[in-house]
Structure 1
Amino acid sequence: MGRFRAGHIGVLSLGVLALAACGHGDTKVAAQPAAPHKQAGPAAAQEARKAAVAIAAKVKANELGQIPVIMYHRVVAKPTVTDDRTPAQFRAELERLAKDGYVPITAREYTTGKIAIPAGRHPVVLTFDDSSPSQLTLDGMGKPKADTAVAILQDVAAKHPGFRPVATFYVIRDMFGTFGPEAQAQTLGWLRDNGFDIGNHTRDHMNLRGKSKEQVTDQIAAGQKLITSLIKDVPVTLALPYGNQPSTKDWAMRGEAGGVKYNYSGVFLAGYTPGASPFSKDFDPLGIPRIRAMDKVGDCARFCSTAWLDWLNAHPEDRYTSDGDIRTVAFPKFKAPYVASRFAGYTLPY
Structure 2
Amino acid sequence: MGRLKVVTVGTIVVTAGAVLSGCGAQDDAQDKNPKVNAAAKASAAAVTRANLIKTKTAAAAKVKANELGQIPVLMYHRIVDKPGNQDDRTPAQFRTELERLAAEDYVPVTAAEYVTGRMDIPAGKHPVVLTFDDSSPSQFALDGTGAPKANTAVAILQDVAQRHPGFRPVATFYVTRDMFGMTKPEEREQVLLWLAGKGYDIGNHTHDHLSLRGKPEKEVDAEVAKGHRLITSLINAVPVTIALPYGNQPNTKEWALKGSSGGVSYNYGGVFLAGYTPAMSPFNKEFDPLGIPRIRSMDKKGDCARFCSVAWLDWLKANADDRYTSDGDVKTVAYPKFKAPFMTMRFTDRALPY
TM-score by length of 1: 0.88
Give distance in 1, aligned partners of 2:46 and 2:238: 42
The residue type paired with residue 43 of structure 1 is V
**Structure label with greater radius of gyration:** 2
Give distance in 2, aligned partners of 1:150 and 1:39: 52
SS in 2 for 1:289: coil
Q: Which moved more, 1:337-346 or 1:143-152?
A: 337-346
**What value does the CA root-mean-square deviation take over the aligned residues?**
1.1
Equivalent residue number for residue 143 of structure 1: 147
Equivalent residue number for residue 180 of structure 2: 176
Give distance in 2, aligned partners of 1:212 and 1:256: 14
Give distance in 2, aligned partners of 1:103 and 1:345: 25
1:293, 1:304 within 8 Å by CA — same for their partners in 2? yes
Structure 2, unaligned stretches of length 5 or more? 1-41
1:208, 1:246 within 8 Å by CA — same for their partners in 2? yes
Equivalent residue number for residue 89 of structure 1: 93
Give distance in 2, aligned partners of 1:257 and 1:312: 41
Give distance in 1, aligned partners of 2:329 and 2:90: 36
The residue type paired with residue 151 of structure 2 is D
1:145: how far off? 0.4
Equivalent residue number for residue 224 of structure 2: 220
Equivalent residue number for residue 131 of structure 1: 135
Give distance in 2, aligned partners of 1:46 and 1:204: 54
Return structure 1 stretches of 4+ with deviation > 2 angstroms.
none
C-alpha distance 264-40 of structure 1, shift in aligned 2 (>3 A): farther
Asked whether 1:348 is paired with 2:341, we answer no
Equivalent residue number for residue 271 of structure 2: 267
RCO higher in 1 or 2 (8 Å CA, sep ≥ 6)?
1
Paired residue for 1:42, among 46, 49, 68? 46
Give distance in 1, aligned partners of 2:229 and 2:53: 45
The residue type paired with residue 218 of structure 1 is A
Give distance in 2, aligned partners of 1:161 and 1:102: 12
Equivalent residues in 2 for 1:153-302, closer than 5 Å:
153-302=157-306
Give distance in 2, aligned partners of 1:327 and 1:248: 34
Q: Which moved more, 1:41-50 or 1:74-83?
A: 41-50
Equivalent residue number for residue 338 of structure 1: 342
Paired residue for 2:116, among 112, 119, 122? 112
Structure with greater helix share of residues: 2
Equivalent residue number for residue 314 of structure 1: 318
Give distance in 1, aligned partners of 2:189 and 2:44: 49
Q: What do the CA deviations read for 1:308-349 (whole angstroms, capped 9, x no partner)?
A: 000000000100000001111100000000000122221111
| Percent identical | 68
Give distance in 2, aligned partners of 1:129 and 1:119: 30
1:39, 1:45 within 8 Å by CA — same for their partners in 2? no
1:246: how far off? 0.0
Paired residue for 1:326, among 327, 330, 345? 330
Equivalent residue number for residue 11 of structure 1: none
Paired residue for 1:66, among 70, 73, 79? 70
Give distance in 2, aligned partners of 1:346 and 1:301: 38
Q: Which moved more, 1:137-146 or 1:258-267?
A: 137-146
SS in 1 for 2:50: helix
1:116: how far off? 0.5
SS in 2 for 1:125: strand
Give distance in 2, aligned partners of 1:122 and 1:111: 15
C-alpha distance 258-314 of structure 1, shift in aligned 2 (>3 A): same
Structure 1, unaligned stretches of length 5 or more? 1-37
1:43: how far off? 1.1
Give distance in 2, aligned partners of 1:327 and 1:125: 20
Q: Which moved more, 1:85-94 or 1:339-348?
A: 339-348
Give distance in 2, aligned partners of 1:166 and 1:271: 21
Equivalent residue number for residue 31 of structure 1: none
Give distance in 2, aligned partners of 1:194 and 1:90: 20
1:167: how far off? 0.1
Give distance in 2, aligned partners of 1:327 and 1:319: 19
1:40: how far off? 5.7
Q: Which moved more, 1:98-107 or 1:46-55?
A: 46-55
1:140: how far off? 1.2
TM-score by length of 2: 0.87
SS in 1 for 2:179: coil
1:239: how far off? 0.1
SS in 2 for 1:330: strand
Q: Which moved more, 1:338-347 or 1:283-292?
A: 338-347
Paired residue for 2:80, among 72, 76, 79? 76
SS in 1 for 2:234: helix
Give distance in 2, aligned partners of 1:94 and 1:241: 25
1:74, 1:135 within 8 Å by CA — same for their partners in 2? yes
